[in-house]
Amino acid sequence: MSEIVYVGMDLGTSRTSITTSTGIRTTVWSYVGYAQDHVSKKLLGGRDKVFGEEAVENRMSVNLVRPLDKGVIRDEVDAKRATRDLIEHIIELAEIPSGSTVYGVIGAPAEASVDSKAHILEAASEFMDSIIVCSEPFSVAYGLDFLADTLVIDIGAGTVDLCRVHGTMPKAEDQRTHHFGGDAIDQKLFDLISEKYTEAQFSTNMVREIKENFANVGRQHDSVLATFPVKGKPTEFDVTDQVHEACMGIVQPTIEALQDLIATYDPEFQQKMRNHILLGGGGSQITGLARAMEEALVEYGGGKVKAVEEAQYAGSNGALKVALDMPIEFWEEFVNNQKA
């Protein structure tokens, strides 16, 4: 009988992470770059495609594809191909022994449509023998054993997914999604800097790097200085206020979705859930975000918010734990049904 390897995957708009039962954890930016011609292929060392940060760094000489938008696979041929290639790449990075039976759980946005989940299953089915698609915020909670009266907020690049966890698998009414995530912050910051400094030249990637290094919503924060070319001459700009304003844009829509989930919960347990709010995903690392959300919750009766300690792997770790805890009969039945 072949060895069984369990896999947890967080297939994200910005980054894709994997954790396996063999002890491997790795992550890659969710980009695929395809060689444009023979010169491009030579530059890439004879390869037809590259992934992640390497793809972005070579974006002037490759066809760069970011296959996921707002947490779901874009409904385009190149996006579906890139998703399949991205999953194959990260499975290879996970060094799963050849011939293994692979059972996997993949995190998806809280309110992902049936079609979106079907696209994920189709892309992954070539590399896994049995697959479950589960809610990303639920996998974060499951991995940390926060299974009762917890409200999880998973802040990704494309979506912000909220899920209330109360001792059972979440239903549709337990979940909310809004789209002011990391990408929306990037666009807001881009627009604010463009408006303030009309002579500066910069790209979305340059703005994203500023956000990832200096994102904050705190009352007190250090100055953020950025260097952009002006007619080819490097020039320094103060973008402190723009970074703060762009990042603050995530607070209000998140509080509104959070309060909606709390207000529609059993009134006897609302206060308990309000005092047990967990932030996950890359956006949870925005400096001062937990405190800013607590301050915004005051008018709703207050609340306590904290961020996970290991945001990069909280989703894939939790997905792996779901996979490991799933009865073996479930996996075997799924495989047998696929063969029938």
With a cut of 80, say whether residue 332 has pLDDT above it: no
- pLDDT, residue 111, reads 67
Span between the terminal Cα atoms of the chain, in Å: 20
Domains of the chain, each with CATH number or no CATH: 4-141+313-339 (3.30.420.40), 182-248 (3.30.420.40)
Residue 50 scores a pLDDT above 90: yes
Q: Are 158 and 30 in contact (CB under 8 A)?
A: no
Q: Inform me whether the pLDDT recorded for 256 exceeds 90.
A: yes
- pLDDT at residue 163 greater than cutoff 50: yes
Q: Is 159 helix (H, G, I), strand (E, B) or coil?
A: coil
Q: Is the pLDDT of residue 116 over 90?
A: no
Mean pLDDT of 159-169: 91
The pLDDT of residue 75: 77
- For position 164, what pLDDT does the model report? 93
Tally helices (H) and strands (E) across the chain.
13, 17
Decide if 247 contacts 211 (C-beta within 8 A): yes
Q: Residue 54 and residue 31: Cα distance in Å, rounded?
A: 9
Residue 340 banded pLDDT, cuts 50, 70, 90: very low
**The pTM is what?**
0.89
CB 178 within 8 A of CB 159: yes
For residue 29, what pLDDT is reported? 95
Q: How much is the average pLDDT of 323-335? A: 82
Cα–Cα distance, 122 to 103 (Å, whole number): 15
Q: How confident is the model at residue 331 (pLDDT cuts 50, 70, 90)?
A: confident
| pLDDT at res. 334 | 58
Are 208 and 56 in contact by the 8 Å Cβ rule? The answer is: no
> Which of helix, strand or coil describes residue 234?
strand
